[in-house]
């Protein structure tokens, strides 16, 4: 092997951890708020676009708020309001839900990440 071959080989092997991380890592930097309801297709709300989103459920409308790279359930028609009290979430994998109104909210990244999250 020449010196040049060795350098190329070293760079190629050095790139493998980055490729592994990007393809099979933990989902990368937080990028989307994944909103799921019992009846509808999941929707992905970009975290770089602030705003409030109305999500209908069996009890009424839940309000999802996006602001400065984070998300929260701002309002929901449930009785106990624990989903609202849970507050902002911003890291990949973080999640919250309004069980009575059948709505879940999770932060996802760009990468394929995990097949599911265990709590």
Partner 1 sequence: MTRAGSLVLGAAALVLSSCGEPEPEVHEAQFFAFGTVVEIVLHGVDADTREKVLDELEADLEYQHRAWHAWEPGALGRVNELLPAGGWFSAGPSILPMVREAAELSRMSGYRFNPAIGRLVGLWGFHGEPGDEPAPPEDEAIQELVAQEPTLDDIEIDNIRMRGHNPAVQIDFGGYAKGTAIDQAIAQLRRSGVEHAIVNMGGDLRAIGQRGERPWRIGIRHPTDEGVFASIELSGDEALVTSGTYERAFEYEGERFHHIIDPATGYPARGLESVTVLHDEAAAADAAATAMLVAGPEEWPEVARAMDMTHAMAINEEGVVWITPPMRQRITFEVEPARVEEVTP
Q: Which residues bind partner 1 (CB under 8 A)?
A: 1-2, 4-6, 8-9, 12-13, 15-16, 19, 22-24, 26-27, 36, 38, 42, 79-80, 89-95, 97, 99, 102, 104, 112-119
Nearer Cβ to partner 1 (75/94): 94
CB of residue 113 vs partner 1: minimum separation in angstroms?
7
Nearer Cβ to partner 1 (91/110): 91
Phi, psi of 16 (to 5 degrees): -60, -45
Nearer Cβ to partner 1 (39/48): 39
Closest CA to 37 of 76, 70, 66, 81: 76
- For Cα atoms 52, 113, 50, give the angle at the middle one, nearest 5 degrees: 15
Phi, psi of 52 (to 5 degrees): -115, 140
Is the separation of the CB atoms in 107 and 33 below 8 Å?
yes
* H or E, element range at 8: helix 3-24
Nearer Cβ to partner 1 (46/117): 117
């Amino acid at each position: 092997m020449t010196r040049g071959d060795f350098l190329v080989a070293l760079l190629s092997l050095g790139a493998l951890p980055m490729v592994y991380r990007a393809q099979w890592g933990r989902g990368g930097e937080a990028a989307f708020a994944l909103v799921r309801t019992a009846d509808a297709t999941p929707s992905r709300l970009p975290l770089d676009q602030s705003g409030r989103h109305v999500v209908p459920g069996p009890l009424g409308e839940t309000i999802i708020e996006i602001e400065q790279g984070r998300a929260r359930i701002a309002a929901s028609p449930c009785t106990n309001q624990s989903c609202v009290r849970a507050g902002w979430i911003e890291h990949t994998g973080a999640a919250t839900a309004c069980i009575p109104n059948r709505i879940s909210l999770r932060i996802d990244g760009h990468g394929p990440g995990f097949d599911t999250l265990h709590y």
